[in-house]
Structure 1
Amino acid sequence: MRLSPALYVLVAAGSLTQAAAVDKRDLASEIWADIESAASCTACEALLVVLKGLAAFGNTIFVDTITEVCKLSGADDPDVCEGAVALEGPILAQDLRGMTVGSHTSTLFCNTFFGLCPFPAVTPYSVTFPSPKPATTRPAVSGQPPLTFVHISDIHVDQFYETGASYNCTKPICCRPYTAADAPGNNGYPAGPYGNTACDAPVSLEDSMFAAINSIAPNAAFTIFTGDIVDHAVWLVNETQVTADIQDAYSHMASLPHVYTTAGNHEASPVNAFNPAAVKTSLDIQWLYNLLATDNQPYLGSDAQEIQNFGAYSTKFAGGNLRIISINSNLYYKENYWLYEKTMESDPSGQLAWLVSELDAAEQAGENVYIIGHMAMGLDDALHDGSNYFNQIVDRYSATIAALFFGHTHVDQFEIAYTDYTNPSFSNALEVSYLAPSMTPTSGPPAFQVVSVDPVTFGVLDITTYIANISDPSYQNGPTWVEYYSAKQAYGPLVDPPLTDPTAELTPAFWHNVTVAFENDDTAFQSYIAHKSRGWNVPSCTGDCKTSEICGMRAAEAQYNCATVTPGINFRKRDEGLERLPGVVEERVCDGARLRPLLSKLAARDGLLEEMLEKVQVKYRE
């Protein structure tokens, strides 16, 4: 590490008085030098000593210094740095003050934020169940006429979207008049009235999609909404805006068939900040749980009050033998900084124990269950420990759980749960998680899905995706919503024997066999890749990309998804370091936090290192 001797003494001593005398630009420069030189897990742990010392000086010095680092790096515009670090920095500082360097928490921190340490091994923990797993399995479908429902996700409505504002701005999300040059009439990149792929969704797009749902699926029994209402301008978001956004979205959703909702990571302010009950803070998320309980009351009745506990609930569908359990997956999300406690909890807020009790009661009552949440638990966004413990529950109650539904990635994909992830096969495939594409067009054409299910077993029979082609020249005259593809029609013929019967279930075994077909039939696999982004700027995916993609399909538990960590300092203007340019498919646009892309890309060298260092030198010569 290259920390100057004088500054090291101040940091090690934790002297607030002396540290206050250090010019924040000098301190930022030293921090910058240490970050860019860190290239191993050991170096990251040494860096944590410095950051812990900085955090010990208090939130003000920590926020001021990291803000200066952000500005010097060019990671974001100065106002974005100031807003984001002011919101997220105090949480990070509290984490660092309680962290023991070399612990499970610090290793995970280095893995998540810097990409320098390997994934730590899952901490062994056995979930307690009231009774052993029964020998029963999921029932066969009844063959009766199907029931349908609608799945929507990640609407990200931008109440500040302006038609004519520039869609080619310097901020993480555009189509707002951030400056006079961005305002309508003053730019060469005017946004249309129904949205742009560089921007979140205008209210007009929300109205268009909801009207299309009622027209295309007039007989839908209900709607599942798997989270994320608030826009991506996270450096400007506060509790007042989040409250207004949620209430406005719920008022629009009143036009849809009976809605079951879940909380997305953007429903918090600061973004992602869902503190477990054991973490006491003035930034407590209870206000959101109270709000969601009130706003869900028309749909859930007295069951809505459960949301006040930790943002989850369990309720019975009035039209059949189905229980819908909505979990708060943000309590296992690695970008939720509140989770990086000195000793990380096995069951934050007791949600897993609650889930077991609800599933056990459903099993005893002979109910079918849908679990809904925002973040699918097999994604590399999920903490491996929490994902493992959740998967134990899914395995135990696999005969009761009919399917799981999530969002978050903005793309159309699925994950399979197995009894043995080291040897996945059709015979040990247990459950399927379905991830819906987004309404917000940042990852392609706005979309929703109509799900056809057996009315007795609630097994999934088909999923049909509908889109509005945002690349069509007539789109801005008013979106036209059309069928994009049917899962059964696209993938049913790939297996042997073909699965084409409208009343046949898309079982976990079926989906495993589809992944085998993808391995052997590259045309079919490339069709799947196109479906993920609704045909928008379809990326090339061969070799390692294909292997990793199929691995992810076979991993409803995060530690098996083949994700790797890669250090680098690719500074860009979008989440996870991806530049906002036409033709870039971004699968991480939902992360939201600005500090992680800042810190994670500071850790090692790539083609932009010299440019960044030169900027620092110029800055300090001024």
Structure 2
Amino acid sequence: MRPSSTLSLLALGSVAQAAVSLENSSLPPRDIENIERAIEARSLADDIWNDIKNAATCTACQGILVLLKGIAVFGDGAFVSVATELCKLAKVEDDDVCEGTVGLEGPIIADAIRNMDLGSDTSKLFCGSFLGLCPEPSVPQWKIPFPSPQPQTGRPAPSGKTPLKVVQYSDIHIDPLYVSGSSSNCTKPICCRPYTAADEPGKSTSPAGPNGDHKCDTPVGLEISMYQAIKNIVPDAALTLFTGDIVDHAIWNTSQPYNQKQISDAYTYMSQYLGIVYGTAGNHESNPTNAFPPRSISNSSQWVYDALSDQWTRWVGASAESEIESIGAYSTKYPNGNLRVISLNTNFYYRMNFWLYQEGIEQDPDGQIQWLVSELDAAEKAGERVYIIGHMPLGEGDAFHAGSNYLDQVVKRYSSTIAAMFFGHTHVDHFEVSYSDYNSRDASHAVMASYICPSLTPTSGMPSFRVYDVDPETFAVLDTTTYIADMANADFQTTGPVWTKLYSAKETYGSKLNPPVTDASVELTPAFWHNVTALFESNSDVFNEYISLKSRGWNVASCTGDCKTQELCQLRAGRSENNCVVPSIGLHLNKRSDELHGHSHHRSHDHQECGMSAGMKTLGSLAVRKDLLDELETRANDIKGSSDTESSSDESDSDGPSERDSARSPDLQSPAGAARSTSAAGTASNTGPGGAEPATGTNTNAASGASFVSGGTGSATSLPPPPSPVLSATAIKLPLLRNSPPPTPSPSSPDSSPTSADRELDNAPPLQSLTMPSVCALPTPPRMPPSSVTRASAREQTTAAEAVDELETTTRLMPRYVNHSGS
């Protein structure tokens, strides 16, 4: 049982020696004894805590990584078990949420930590994102190569012709398990599900209405209501932009078939009610949530690309299929005008995509930036205008500085070709301005506007969508209007949502500029949007109106002083390194709606917009709670002791591999101790490691009607699923609108035969005839087998002499956490 790099083990503090069994070690026994005695001389947790108190925060985080690596090296099961217990102790979430979320995302985090170099930029990036203990490293310099020089022509003037209508909606987050009458007040990330008997309809003291609640995701009826409103309000819409996130926020309880069903149903409804729809991949489309690895690491997101391709090709054509299935992005020509729509997979730059914390991650994951340059250059030569759509805005704190910087270079170069950019993700109504020089953020240097659409899901405000007036020739945005369904309206839960105009940009902001910008034929240029931020800065009344409109008039909080300064900085940041966001210890980069409404202060109201990672919040708690640090060290030493006992038992039992050895993580069984194969945390099929058929023992998810593997070959270290009663099939019928037909299979789908999930849902009784079981709980997702990845690790076994050299290097790098005794 020997891990692949002695360096990574000698840097593991009090658990280092545990990872090298004596019978396989090439180190002399005396060296091992001295290392163990020196490392265990004092508590790492005490040193780490002292460093945090003395503001040596980055050093402290490296110490925390020492402990985490010492656990992760023993496999995903060990890491998930410890992280789950810490999550429960920290009361980050309810126990079942901790178990489900950490069980899904934990293997990906463990794999990154296991292969992370202490002191590297990757480790500092991890420390900043997870614990707020390190500033983000400087952006690695990369000057994007462009195939042609930038033309001197600026943005084309609008034609003055009758505008077209373009619709945008985002973050629909459909909850097919929403139950009218169930409790809207709960301790879960989302409510309006009968998690307990007390939450059941007729028993709750805060029953949810049939059409939605601010503490819950979107019922299907509200979704269809929006499509119908779009069809009625904008019957002549030229095209629709959907900027991602279909799946609900119950991220502890998702599965691949469940997400596939959600994706299929949503796009089928869109095709029934709307015309051309151009979509993009949201971070919630994958399972586990946020998991989009570059192909150089794993192909475990192939299934979601295939699922999206099956839906998108009905609008973008078969010619874009290979792009979608390769990187989750596409470029397509709008058939009725001189416009190209480019959909980016922004998940490659997302801070909570834990696959991106691997050492040596490429600057341009899957070559998407170079592909984008090629598409934009071809569009420029063809005289086309371009809309860029994506899920996450590039100036948000959620965006890695490096990826945002590289994309910003591309935006600057092709600023005359790109008419506008459209995003979602934040759930609130706002915008971002990009500049040619971020040291001179003024109207003359403004080069691009990003339109960030508020969400349909009502967790951050009123359900919303936008309509843009655009020039029919230049496709420049001439005005933007937001429509909402006012949930405060007395008729919202009875006769149904009523969709009305909330505001338009020219009426609300343009009319107050000097000189006013109200002409219907004038473009909302990047300079216009910078001038709006200047208006906010000088006019508190207008700024306060903007703050109210962000949440569409719901739960409006005051924003003055530092809050206002920060907000203005973010509006003037199309590049994330310039958004003034500084992580603080134990505090993560929440979405703007969380910051605005203070949702992070009370768990019962912590219905977070992005489905915040329980694993990230758990590790962040280590930076602010000494008791959790002590527990982490105790668990690490427990694992060490267990490993020592195993080693002694294995040596005395037989010369061959023991039963316990064969149950360990594949990471510790490969010949070099480092070979990693396709990750099971989000694989394209529910098979055991290496693509083997699943082991016996499946758990049927009533939400999707599919069976899931709760264990597989080599997965003995995984946590077993917690006992949980499962809703009967009759309790999960999609709550459709009255007399609304269910979605029909897409004609473009290669296999339109009904699945078991389709049959179970279709055969369920109508919603109004449901009877809830006496004990209601949602089906528990399966435990994923231990993860690994497709690329081989760069770490190889070392000789005894190399190990001594590595120990000396580590001692210089981490004097506090290795050479404690001075011996």
TM-score with structure 2 length normalisation? 0.69
Superposition map of 1:157-306 within 5 A: 157-254=174-271, 255-280=273-298, 284-305=300-321, 306=323
> Partner residue of 1:14?
19
Q: Deviations over 1:213-267 (max 9, x none)?
A: 1111111111100000000000110101000000010111111121000000000
Is 1:90–2:107 an aligned residue pair? yes
**Residue pair 2:599, 2:606 contacting (<8 A) in 1 also:** no
- Whichever residue aligns with residue 454 of structure 1, its letter is D
Q: Structure 1 residues 235 and 84 mapped into 2: Cα distance closer, same or farther (>3 Å)?
A: same
Please give the alpha-carbon distance, in whole angstroms, between the structure 1 residues aligned to 2:611 and 2:46.
27
> Partner residue of 2:403?
386
Superposition map of 1:579-598 within 5 A: 579=600, 589-598=609-618
Secondary structure class of the residue paired with 2:251: coil
Q: Structure 1 residues 555 and 585 mapped into 2: Cα distance closer, same or farther (>3 Å)?
A: farther
**Residue pair 2:122, 2:358 contacting (<8 A) in 1 also:** yes
- Whichever residue aligns with residue 512 of structure 1, its letter is H
Superposition map of 1:116-515 within 5 A: 116-254=133-271, 255-280=273-298, 284-305=300-321, 306-477=323-494, 478-515=496-533
- Whichever residue aligns with residue 85 of structure 2, its letter is E
Across the aligned residues of Structure 1 and Structure 2, the Cα RMSD in angstroms comes to: 2.6
What is the CA distance between 1:613 and its match in structure 2? 9.8
What is the CA distance between 1:271 and its match in structure 2? 0.3
- Whichever residue aligns with residue 552 of structure 1, its letter is Q
Structure 2: which 5+ residue stretches go unaligned? Answer: 1-11, 24-42, 633-823
Please give the alpha-carbon distance, in whole angstroms, between the structure 1 residues aligned to 2:613 and 2:456.
20
- Whichever residue aligns with residue 246 of structure 1, its letter is I
**Residue pair 1:575, 1:591 contacting (<8 A) in 2 also:** no
Please give the alpha-carbon distance, in whole angstroms, between the structure 2 residues aligned to 1:16 and 1:487.
67
Secondary structure class of the residue paired with 2:503: strand
Please give the alpha-carbon distance, in whole angstroms, between the structure 1 residues aligned to 2:156 and 2:576.
28
> Partner residue of 1:600?
620
Q: Deviations over 1:17-70 (max 9, x none)?
A: 99xxxxxxxxxxx99988877621110011111111111011111111111111
Q: Deviations over 1:520-551 (max 9, x none)?
A: 11111111111111011111100111111011
> Partner residue of 2:656?
none
Secondary structure class of the residue paired with 1:148: strand
Secondary structure class of the residue paired with 1:402: strand
Q: Deviations over 1:139-186 (max 9, x none)?
A: 011111100111000000001000011111121111111111111112
Please give the alpha-carbon distance, in whole angstroms, between the structure 1 residues aligned to 2:274 and 2:631.
52
> Partner residue of 1:522?
540
Q: Structure 1 residues 467 and 615 mapped into 2: Cα distance closer, same or farther (>3 Å)?
A: farther
- Whichever residue aligns with residue 414 of structure 1, its letter is F
Please give the alpha-carbon distance, in whole angstroms, between the structure 2 residues aligned to 1:465 and 1:297.
28
**Residue pair 1:374, 1:406 contacting (<8 A) in 2 also:** yes
Please give the alpha-carbon distance, in whole angstroms, between the structure 2 residues aligned to 1:200 and 1:508.
33
> Partner residue of 1:563?
581
**Residue pair 1:36, 1:602 contacting (<8 A) in 2 also:** no
What is the CA distance between 1:589 and its match in structure 2? 1.1
Please give the alpha-carbon distance, in whole angstroms, between the structure 1 residues aligned to 2:335 and 2:449.
24
> Partner residue of 1:24?
none
- Whichever residue aligns with residue 270 of structure 2, its letter is M
Please give the alpha-carbon distance, in whole angstroms, between the structure 1 residues aligned to 2:288 and 2:489.
36
- Whichever residue aligns with residue 394 of structure 1, its letter is V
Please give the alpha-carbon distance, in whole angstroms, between the structure 2 residues aligned to 1:601 and 1:563.
20
TM-score with structure 1 length normalisation? 0.91
What is the CA distance between 1:90 and its match in structure 2? 0.4
**Residue pair 1:35, 1:602 contacting (<8 A) in 2 also:** no
**Residue pair 1:537, 1:583 contacting (<8 A) in 2 also:** no
> Partner residue of 1:62?
79
Please give the alpha-carbon distance, in whole angstroms, between the structure 2 residues aligned to 1:17 and 1:524.
70
Structure 1: which 5+ residue stretches go unaligned? Answer: 1-6, 19-29, 617-622
What is the CA distance between 1:412 and its match in structure 2? 0.6
**Residue pair 2:395, 2:404 contacting (<8 A) in 1 also:** yes
Q: How many residues align?
A: 592
Please give the alpha-carbon distance, in whole angstroms, between the structure 1 residues aligned to 2:219 and 2:558.
30
- Whichever residue aligns with residue 528 of structure 1, its letter is Y
Please give the alpha-carbon distance, in whole angstroms, between the structure 2 residues aligned to 1:33 and 1:481.
57
Higher Cα Rg: structure 1 or 2?
2
**Residue pair 1:466, 1:482 contacting (<8 A) in 2 also:** yes
What is the CA distance between 1:10 and its match in structure 2? 2.7
> Partner residue of 1:531?
549
Please give the alpha-carbon distance, in whole angstroms, between the structure 2 residues aligned to 1:567 and 1:84.
23
Please give the alpha-carbon distance, in whole angstroms, between the structure 2 residues aligned to 1:336 and 1:211.
34
> Partner residue of 1:23?
none
- Whichever residue aligns with residue 447 of structure 2, its letter is L
- Whichever residue aligns with residue 142 of structure 1, its letter is S
**Residue pair 2:181, 2:201 contacting (<8 A) in 1 also:** yes
**Residue pair 1:303, 1:314 contacting (<8 A) in 2 also:** no
In terms of mean alpha carbon deviation, does 529-538 or 8-17 score higher? 8-17
Large movers: runs of 4+ above 3 Å: 15-18, 30-38, 574-586, 612-616
Please give the alpha-carbon distance, in whole angstroms, between the structure 2 residues aligned to 1:92 and 1:33.
25
What is the CA distance between 1:286 and its match in structure 2? 0.6
What is the CA distance between 1:473 and its match in structure 2? 2.5
Please give the alpha-carbon distance, in whole angstroms, between the structure 2 residues aligned to 1:413 and 1:314.
26
What is the CA distance between 1:274 and its match in structure 2? 0.1
**Residue pair 1:12, 1:53 contacting (<8 A) in 2 also:** no
**Structure ranking higher on relative contact order (CA contacts 8 Å, 6+ apart):** 2
Is 1:43–2:60 an aligned residue pair? yes
**Residue pair 1:222, 1:257 contacting (<8 A) in 2 also:** yes
- Whichever residue aligns with residue 485 of structure 1, its letter is Y
What is the CA distance between 1:591 and its match in structure 2? 4.6
Q: Deviations over 1:551-608 (max 9, x none)?
A: 11110000000001111379x9x9899448699797x512542211222243126xxx
**Residue pair 2:184, 2:208 contacting (<8 A) in 1 also:** yes
What is the CA distance between 1:615 and its match in structure 2? 12
Q: Deviations over 1:481-521 (max 9, x none)?
A: 11000011001022221001011110001111111111111
Secondary structure class of the residue paired with 2:439: coil
Could you tell me the percent identity over the aligned residues? 53
Q: Structure 1 residues 581 and 451 mapped into 2: Cα distance closer, same or farther (>3 Å)?
A: farther
Secondary structure class of the residue paired with 1:416: strand
Q: Deviations over 1:98-129 (max 9, x none)?
A: 11111110001000000010121111011111
- Whichever residue aligns with residue 565 of structure 1, its letter is P
Is 1:106–2:126 an aligned residue pair? no
**Residue pair 1:32, 1:69 contacting (<8 A) in 2 also:** no
- Whichever residue aligns with residue 364 of structure 1, its letter is K
> Partner residue of 1:26?
none
**Residue pair 1:114, 1:567 contacting (<8 A) in 2 also:** yes
